[in-house]
Amino acid sequence: VNDVLLACASGALRSYLLDQGDEVDGLTIRATVPVNLRPLEHAKKLGNHFGLVFLELPVGEANPLRRLERVGACMRELKRSRQAIVTLGLLAALGMGPQALQAPALELFSRKATTVATNVPGPQQPLYLTGVEVSELMFWVPQSGSIGVGLSILSYNGNVHFGLIGDAKRVRDPDAVTTRFAREFEKLVLIALMEDWDSEINASCAAATLEHELIR
């Protein structure tokens, strides 16, 4: 699920940048992704226990299926690495250090990425507040250092909510990005529905299917 949602976010950013007249061919955006390292038995305790990994979002890839493949490959590589645990240790050490050291270290981390992206699994049953059902939930991923864009994905009660927070100098119209998220997901759904399930679906087949349906 993470791979699909982050691939859709990449497609939404691509579409937005193209609409702004930017050149995106071959462009890759690096995202800082928080990874929860807290054991399940400690889930109800207060405090944070997470590391960071750097995920490459293939914004320059036009084919939605190939974009998904690239995100999936990067995610599998990160899961095999010790990157999250290492960054947790570094952040913990910095937290105990002097403030004069914390600021430049935080800036060093932030310069390694363009955006912060996180996917939070919310409750899959409706919540109620004073007897009224909560229709939607949303959160904004924390920004740090000089990172000016944050991608927030939250699942709640069978739905997925996608939000973006950004520096106005970098993203003048965040709504123009978020409205594209559903369209990118619909492309993947269309590919899955229209292709032959008895054979392997590749990027070339996906491109032909989308072109055929758009022409129609």
Mean pLDDT across 13-27: 91
For residue 62, is pLDDT > 80? yes
Mean pLDDT across 15-31: 91
| pLDDT tier for residue 17 given thresholds of 50, 70 and 90 | very high
pLDDT of the residue at 197: 67
Residue 54, strand partner residues:
32
| pLDDT tier for residue 112 given thresholds of 50, 70 and 90 | confident
Report how far apart, in Å, the C-alpha atoms of 22 and of each of 56, 57, 80, 194 are: 19, 16, 34, 32
The answer regarding whether domain 2-179 maps to CATH 3.30.559 reads: yes
For residue 146, is pLDDT > 90? no
pLDDT, tens digit, 9 for 90 and up, residues 153-179: 999 999 999 999 888 888 888 899 999
Residues of the chain with pLDDT > 70: what percent? 92
Q: How far apart are CA 188 and CA 190, in angstroms?
A: 5
Helices (H), the chain: 2-19, 64-80, 83-95, 99-110, 174-194, 203-215
- Residue whose pair of structure tokens reads 């939250």 in the numeric block: 154
pLDDT, tens digit, 9 for 90 and up, residues 177-207: 999 999 999 988 888 877 766 667 677 777 7
For residue 215, is pLDDT > 50? no
pLDDT of the residue at 7: 93
Average pLDDT, the chain: 83
pLDDT, tens digit, 9 for 90 and up, residues 101-111: 777 777 776 77
Total number of residues shown for the chain: 216
Mean pLDDT across 57-84: 88
pLDDT of the residue at 126: 94
Q: How far apart are CA 114 and CA 31, in angstroms?
A: 6
